[in-house]
């Protein structure tokens, strides 16, 4: 978090967006490929694989306005609508 605080010291909105993203993304410091080798369950892998696609689709105003819990619910709804194949996740 200190990195983000220094990176966005003069931009509280960008800091808020980065912080919420960090709270929402599963295994934020682990790559998709590394996460696959750790033997994570398919639900966790799906959340990790589609997180960036979802996060980019959410308007910045919503990220700023909504709570982390509300954003998590939005991600859950997004994942339900995503057409994913088992081969992508395994």
Name the more confident of 1 and 59: 59
Quick: pLDDT tens for 31-79. 888 888 888 888 889 999 999 999 999 999 999 999 999 999 999 999 9
User: According to the model, what pLDDT value does residue 4 have?
Assistant: 65
Q: How far is CA 7 from CA 2, 15, 28, 63, in A?
A: 8, 8, 17, 19
Place of tokens 């057409």: 83
pLDDT band with cut points at 50, 70 and 90 for residue 2: low
The structural domains of the chain, with segments of one domain joined by +, span 2-89
List all residues 6 or more positions away from 67 whose beta carbon is below 8 Å from its beta carbon.
none
Ranges of H-type helices in 1-90 = 2-7, 12-24, 32-37, 42-57, 60-65, 68-81, 86-89
Q: How many C-beta neighbours within 10 Å does residue 20 have? A: 19
Name the more confident of 6 and 41: 41
pLDDT above 50 (res 90): no
pLDDT above 60 (res 86): no
């Amino acid at each position: 978090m200190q990195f983000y605080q220094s990176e966005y010291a003069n931009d509280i909105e960008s800091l808020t967006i980065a912080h919420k993203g960090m709270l929402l993304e599963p295994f934020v410091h682990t790559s998709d490929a590394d996460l696959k080798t750790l033997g994570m369950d398919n639900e966790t892998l799906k959340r990790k694989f589609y997180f960036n696609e979802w996060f980019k689709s959410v308007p910045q105003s919503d990220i700023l306005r909504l709570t982390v819990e509300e954003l998590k619910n939005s991600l859950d709804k997004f994942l339900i609508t995503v057409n994913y194949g088992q081969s992508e996740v395994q």
